[in-house]
Structures are given as C-alpha cells and as structure tokens.
Amino acid sequence: MKTRFVLMLFALGMLASAPTLVAQDHGEIGVFGDMFRAGGTNLYGVGGRLSFNVHPNVAFDLDGAYDFAQSNTQNVTGINGNTQVFRSDLRATHGLFGPKFQLGTKGAVRAFLFAKGGFVRFGLTPGPVTFGTFPTQLQNTDLNGVFFPGGGIEFFLGPIGIRADAGDEMYFDRGVNHDLKITFGPTLRF
C-alpha cells in the first residue's frame, strides 16, 4: 500500500512538472556557418552554439567554430634574383562564451546584444586536419585572447528557429585587431 502511494505521488509530481519541462525557455542549441574577416582575408567555416537561459532576458552563450583553410600563394624573390613560390594555409579556431541580453522574451522575433570573451587560434600548416597531425599543428599556431561584442536577431516558429548575428571580434596580438564576424544558422529551443 505504501509503495502504491509513493508511486502515485511520484506520477502526480511528474505530471504537474511536465508543462515546465517543455516550456522551451531553458536554452538553445544550434549550428551555424560563419564568415570571419581576419585582416584582408575572408575565412569561412562552421560552428556550434549552446545557450542556457539564466533569466528571461539573459542567456549564457557558448560558441565554437572552425574556419577552413584559406590558401595563399606567396612569391619571394631573394637577393640573387631567384624567385621561390610556396603555399600557406591559414586556418582559425574560435572559442567564445559570455552573456546574451535578449530584448523581449516572448514572440516569434527576438533581437539581442552580446559581449563574449574567449580565444581565436590561427594556424599555418600545410597538412590535413587530423588527430595524427594535431601535435605538430600545435607548434605552428598563434593563440590570442578575444573580446566579441555584437548583436543579432532570432526568428522562431515553435521551437525551431533561425539566428543571425554579427559583431567586431577583437583579438589581441601586438595590439587590438578589429575583425568582422558574421554567423547564420538554425537553432532549436528547449
């Protein structure tokens, strides 16, 4: 009898909490394509995002992105007049986290502002991106701190949406370097 009573209380508690579990205001998960303008070079890549709402108007974002290799051919002429041609592949990896301030908590359209910090890692390696070449790639990298303020807009139809954001990804390497970063992709509210 006691076991049935405990099971009934447990079931009643689960039913009572079910609407709050599917309220779709706990956070977001999504993927995106990104464009990062490093100096004069446009780098294109993909990334993922995870957001947790800590307040109806404030979420904590965690982003990670990888920008594919952008090949550059360099011609170097020595003192003796000989010209050498070589190829370099510039890649970038981003890791960012910080608050997102949502302007409006209800409705299908939400604008937001954010201020994230983290890192950007530039790599100049001709090899493929595999776990076997990872230790050698760490030697040919440039890891820099980042501050990334910006804003964007989200459009939702139920739990499924589209998010676009843009900002100035400032990385610190011998001073501040201001670079445009744009992301766009689908997101899922949970």
- Please state the φ and ψ torsions of residue 142, each to the nearest 5 degrees: -135, 105
Return the pLDDT at 135: 47
Residue 153 sits in a domain of what CATH number? 2.40.160.20
pLDDT value of residue 136 = 46
In a domain, 68, yes or no: yes
In a domain, 7, yes or no: no
- Please state the rounded mean pLDDT for residues 90-102: 92
The pLDDT tens digits of the residues spanning 21-71 come to 445 678 999 999 999 998 788 889 999 999 999 998 999 999 999 988 776
Instruction: Give the pTM.
Output: 0.74
**62 is in which domain, residue-wise?**
25-189
Cα 158 to chain centroid, rounded: 23
Q: What is the pLDDT of residues 116-157, one digit of tens each?
A: 999 998 877 666 656 555 544 555 568 899 999 999 999 999
Domain annotation covers residue 10: no
- What is the spatial distance between Cα 6 and Cα 9, in angstroms, rounded to a whole number? 5
Higher pLDDT, 3 or 161: 161
Per-residue pLDDT for 169 more than 80?
Answer: yes
- Evaluate if residue 15 carries a pLDDT over 60: no
**Per-residue b/e over 71-96, b at no fewer than 16 CB within 10 Å?**
eeeeeeeeeeeeeeeeeebbbbbbbb
- What's the pLDDT score for residue 130? 60
Task: Count the Cβ atoms, other than its own, within 10 Å of residue 153.
Answer: 14
What's the pLDDT score for residue 74? Answer: 64
How many domains does the chain contain in total? 1
Q: Which position has the higher pLDDT, 157 or 86?
A: 157
Residue 13 lies in a domain: no
